[in-house]
Amino acid sequence: MKLRSLFLASLAAMAMVSCSNEDDQIINVPEGETAQMRIALAFPTPTRAENTTEEVDVSNLTVVLEYGNFRKVKTISSDKFSRNGQTVTVEPFDVTAGTNVNIYAFLNSNTELNEALESGVLANLQVASTSSALDYLADGIAKNNSFLMSNTDGKAIQKALIANTLNEAIIPVERVCAKLTEMSPTTAFEVTPSETVPESKKLNISLLNHTYINLVKDSYVLDRNTSVNDANYDNYLQKYGTLNYAWKLNKAEGVSTYCMENRIAVNNNDPIQVGSTCIIYEAQARIGEENAATFYVWNNEIFLNLVDLAKEYGVASFDLEGATTPAEIQAKLKTKYYVDMYIDGKCYYIQPIKTATGSTEIIRNNLYKLTVTGITKLGYPTTDIPDPDPTQLKLTVNIADWTVNDFSFEL
């Protein structure tokens, strides 16, 4: 994971004292009585349908205690954990006694973030990804066995830490990322005949691959009920209109992608254009019993070759001078003759990830199961989709909380 450079620049101007995995970093600490702290991580029994071992493991814990006029940070590595079933207990350590102490827990943090936790404004801390891969968080906040987690809803747990006492507190945490799981069937959908497809021609559509657009590249470490949206910064990976997208193969068992939360465009009439996270499908058309080769659509009718299309169009042949590649021919037919060319029978669909309430928010620590339940029309011939038709494809979005969003700590 990476912190935004604007924050790192401010850190560079300070004289910092780094802390090891076994030492405290105490900032501007007044003299006072000591209290003792023992941390236990209580893991609920995993639900296999909702999470995997890679999503729940903890390699380190960083505890931040805000006393008002000073801060105490303690980072504890996994060799200080003792495990007993679903409970992980941390060796006791001393803290400073105080009243109204705000306590934060950060799981699977890294050195860069731990340094920022020592003096940065916690609510403003951000993590960013510089990867251009579709699995852009795989080496960051969604790394196997090291998912970054922080206080649920970004809220501190406020406690009085009593001197000479083993103090206890429960701190629920949640993952910083969200999870998108594509779960559509790999079998073909029969398209109901319509004005686009004559009843005499049986058309089936099989979903082959999928990708996502408008993936947010930055996130606040603590939940602020909003997304990072910097007018002077490119906020998105695979921004809509880029066209050169990375793809994932559809699988019957489902395919997961982790992403940052996206609350930039919510309940907007044109969510695709303004930045909502969307899914694009690449599909294969089948006409009759065979996968379709290149075919053409004009005047809401399918033509299997240019000869038949030219006769219907009323020309001897189409003027395609200068167009040699399939993509060039496709572009010329579209601009000059308003004919759609489906190269190798491929078509494309796009849908915002929209809930039943109409919201297009992607919220941290939520699992979004995406399932296509029907296809009503032939898709678009390219990924350059100027005016998406929401009636083409029926997409169901089922939002499920990850079950392990309630790790608890005894302090």
215: pLDDT strictly greater than 50? yes
Task: Say if residue 259 is in the same domain as residue 296.
Answer: yes
Check whether residue 157 and residue 263 sit in a common domain: no
Evaluate whether 407 touches 41 at the Cβ level (below 8 Å): yes
Which range of residues forms the domain containing residue 137?
A: 2-176+404-409
- Mean per-residue pLDDT over the chain, rounded: 80
Alpha-carbon span 369 to 190, nearest angstrom: 23
pTM (whole model) above 0.85? no
Of residues 221, 9, 237, the one with CA closest to residue 127: 221
Distance between CA atoms of 118 and 72, rounded to whole angstroms?
Answer: 8
Residue 137 sits in the same domain as residue 34: yes
How many whole angstroms separate alpha carbon 266 and alpha carbon 216?
14
pLDDT at position 314, please?
93
104 and 38 in a common domain: yes
151 and 283 together in one domain: no
**Domain identity same for 184 and 172:** no
DSSP class of residue 362?
Answer: B
pLDDT, mean of residues 25-44? 58
**Same structural domain for residues 220 and 126?**
no
- Confidence category of residue 92, pLDDT binned at 50, 70, 90: confident
240 with 383, same domain?
Answer: yes
Lowest mean pLDDT among 193-197, 291-295, 367-371: 193-197
Q: pLDDT category, 290, cuts 50, 70, 90?
A: confident
Average pLDDT over residues 223-252: 86
pLDDT of residue 199: 54
Q: Rounded distance, CA 75 to CA 94, Å?
A: 13
Q: What is the mean pLDDT of residues 14-28?
A: 38
In the predicted structure, residue 288 carries a pLDDT above the cut 90: no
Q: How many domains does the chain have?
A: 2
Q: Is pLDDT at 310 greater than 90 in this prediction?
A: yes
pLDDT of residue 133: 93
Residue with tokens 């790192």: 8
Number of H helices, E strands in the chain: 6, 34
Block residue for tokens 């020592």: 118
Confidence at residue 287, expressed as pLDDT on a 0 to 100 scale: 84
- Whether residue 51 is found in the same domain as residue 77: yes
Whichever domain contains 54, its CATH number is 2.60.40
121 lies in the same domain as 163: yes
Q: In which band, very low, low, confident or very high, does the pLDDT at 12 lie, cut at 50, 70 and 90?
A: very low
The owner of tokens 């928010």 is: 361
What integer pLDDT is reported at residue 410 of this predicted model? Answer: 24
Residue 42 has pLDDT above 50, yes or no: no
230 and 356, same structural domain? yes
Same domain flag for 224 and 82:
no
What are the C-alpha distances in Å from 172 to residues 46, 48, 155, 175?
16, 21, 9, 11
